[in-house]
Amino acid sequence: MQQMFYRSPLPTKVKPGPSVLTIKPHRPWLCPVLIVLLVGLVLGGGIWVCQRNTYSLDQSLRTLLNESNDNLKGCEQANDNLVSQNDELNTKWMTLVQTTQASQETYDNILKNINDLQNERQDLIEELNFYKKLLLVAPQASANLALKLTVKPTDTQAENSKNYFYNLVLSNFSKEPQLQQGDIQLELVGKLNGQNKRLTMKQIHTGLISSQPYKVIYFQRLLGHLQLPTQFLPETMIMRILPQGQKKTEEITFNWTDLQQQEQP
């Protein structure tokens, strides 16, 4: 037979009513201190990082500045070398220029001396030939003056040249030579456009002179250039001699062709 047991219910617990939580302040200074420490830590870390970066930047700047100074010194040294080389080249150049100028001057002097010697030689040859011819053939004479006049084109290669070079030699053959002086005029007579034409010395002389002075004791050479009109055909040349202090004028006529065919020195 089944047995049944009876258990009496547990007594009802009384529920406690709501209670009030009371928070008591506990170390009120801790929070501000933590905040201050945190801020200090952040600031300190920032300052440290800034100082470290500043130091690194300062080191980099110093290194860059040193390298720049080294490069600048190298550039200055290279510039000094270039200046020295430039001065040396300028010195050599000036020496070369001076040497060249001296050589040019020497060459010009030598050339001038050669030309002077050639002219002197030509003068001596002409004088010698003149006196040789004077002994063989009596030249044109005026008073005590022996005259020899030659004319030749300045450009022997050109046909019908109208520019001429004349050479007049005066020689005093008196026993007791004395100074004779005066003026000589040259005139040309010929054809211009089929008409007779007489040209004065001023019209044909390149120096536009009307007369040429002479002053001779023993020997003198008078030189000059003539330029004739293009269509002018010369036939004769007239030499007019005007002795100084005398009213008498003497004229000597030369055939133009004979003047160009006379014996050359």
DSSP state of 23: P
pLDDT for res 20: 56
pLDDT for res 190: 94
How many other β-carbons are positioned within 10 Å of the β-carbon of residue 154?
14
The least confident of 9-18, 56-65, 190-199 is: 9-18
Residues 139, 147 contacting (CB under 8 angstroms) = yes
pTM: 0.49
pLDDT at 264 over 50: no
pLDDT band at residue 164 using 50, 70 and 90 as cut-offs: very high
Each residue's pLDDT tens digit, 28-86:
667 777 787 888 888 887 888 888 888 888 888 888 888 888 888 888 888 888 888 88
Residues 193, 152 contacting (CB under 8 angstroms) = no
SS3 content of the chain, % helix, strand, coil (to 5): 45, 30, 30
> Helix or strand or coil: residue 5?
coil
